[in-house]
Amino acid sequence: MISIEQLCKVYQTKDRKIIGVDNVTMTVEKGEIFGIVGYSGAGKSSLLRCMNILERPTSGKVTLDGIDLLSLSPKELRTARQSIGMIFQGFHLAISKTVLENVAFALKASKVGRVERKRRALELLDLVGLSDKADQYPAQLSGGQKQRVSIARALANNPKVLLCDEATSALDPNTTQSILKLLKKINRELGLTIVLITHEMEVVKEICDRCAVMEEGRIVEEGKTYDMFAYPQNTLTKRFIQTVLDFNLPKELLEHSKGTIVHMKFTGKLAGESVVSDLLQNYEVRGNILHGKVDYIQNKALGTFVIELTGEDKEVQQAIESVRKKVEVEVLPHDGSVHHSAAGAE
């Protein structure tokens, strides 16, 4: 659907060059929700804005459905942009227009007739659940409602792709959830491809099929969302994963523990198996559960389990080895100084 080849974006200031996007090659498949994660300044926003040429890449290629966007004339580019919806963190609604007029504006851009504009705008407002707000002004709406209006506007011309620039970052957690649900709904019902950028891993976990992690203008890791959570490779990816999966055991607990603290990670089907109870039955060890949690990512379970094992050293070691064959195991140090990594260190 969207294919990006060796894209670079360099910003030239008076005395130096700032590299926004550094040689990125990636593909977004039709119908998927693709997330790009990174801290601010990582270049994700630049990359996204290059996808509809809001920013012109310094070099590289951007193709949408086989059309090379950089080769288009201004007029052709405007037509192409009508098939790429975009929503923003700050909503960017015209404050002097009503909700209906804001949505209708996008239709005006594609030269839809007056009557049809109104009909279609109302239909879109219905889709985002705001039909009763048609004649209100943006100032009268809440943040979540404003984002719904901007989604309606972005969908007006039946786009193939929806670009979301930190679309939920300005919203509270509840509203974020409802906007994500809406995005998921339009993704499924309209078959719309969605590319979103965010610094919240929670958003990725919630709706993305695949995701990429960006740092200093480069994509450092890319893959299916579940795999990224279950088997992260890059340090930055691990750090992002932690923000969602992380838990902190009290320092005192770790320091005063007499046993061995074992952190286990269950992926896929294993999350449903009785690994722990087997361990306790088969070896002469006692287990004290410190933490346990199962996350569902793309409807697949990802379990985290922390248990304190006490018993003879040898038995404990054997017990750990036996589990290691099935799940990822990490023995946590007692001083509490080392921050545990949910990724697990073999």
Contact footprint for another protein (CB under 8 A) = 52, 54, 77-82, 84-86, 88, 90, 92-97, 105-106, 108-110, 137-140, 150, 153-154, 156-157, 163
Smallest separation, CB 82 to another protein (Å): 4
Residue number, 163 or 183, with CB nearest to another protein: 163
Smallest separation, CB 31 to another protein (Å): 21
Residue number, 49 or 205, with CB nearest to another protein: 49
Smallest separation, CB 14 to another protein (Å): 13
Residue number, 49 or 340, with CB nearest to another protein: 49
Smallest separation, CB 90 to another protein (Å): 5
Q: 270-308 burial by CB neighbour count: b if 16+ within 10 A, else e?
A: bbeeebbeebbeebebebeebeeeebebbebbbbbbbbb
Token pair for residue 52?
């509809």
Alpha helix ranges (H) inside the chain: 44-51, 74-81, 99-109, 114-127, 143-155, 173-190, 201-207, 225-230, 235-245, 251-256, 275-282, 313-324
Give the Cα separation of 340 and 317 in Å (integer): 20
Tokens 């970052």, located at residue? 169
Give the Cα separation of 219 and 213 in Å (integer): 6
Residue number, 166 or 209, with CB nearest to another protein: 166
Smallest separation, CB 117 to another protein (Å): 12
Residue number, 109 or 253, with CB nearest to another protein: 109
Smallest separation, CB 103 to another protein (Å): 10
| Residue 211, H or E segment | strand 210-215
Q: 220-234 burial by CB neighbour count: b if 16+ within 10 A, else e?
A: bbbbbbbbbbbebeb
Residue number, 93 or 125, with CB nearest to another protein: 93
